Amino acid sequence: MVLSIIGWSFVVAVTTCGVTVFWAKLALAQAKSALEQDIRYWHAEAVKARELAAQFKHENTIWSKGCQQGREDVMAIMPLLVATQDRLAVTTLVETTEV
């Protein structure tokens, strides 16, 4: 009777241990799968972020060149604008003095 109880206790202990190990392996496999999925997701997000950063850098470079060109254009036509304004002022002055 005692040997039977000890025997069955041993069988239950081994079975419980086996089920626990199986459950733990299954849980670890699911966790590993979830982590690998997260890694793939965040890797894809990092790639997208790098591409977006490269695009912004390119756009910033183009915008800066455009601003520089615009400044150069304004500086180039500034003497013409001043001369035109001076001519208009002289013409207006002449018209007002002739009246």
pTM value is 0.53
DSSP codes of every residue in 25-75: HHHHHHHHHHHHHHHHHHHHHHHHHHHHHHHHHHHHHHHHHHHHHHHHHHH
Amino acid at 63: W
- State the greatest distance between any 2 C-alpha atoms of the chain, in Å, as a whole number: 138
Average pLDDT, the chain: 90
Of residues 32 and 98, the one with the higher pLDDT is 32
Burial 22-42 (b: 16+ CB within 10 A, else e): eeeeeeeeeeeeeeeeeeeee
Kindly state the average pLDDT of the residues 28-51: 98
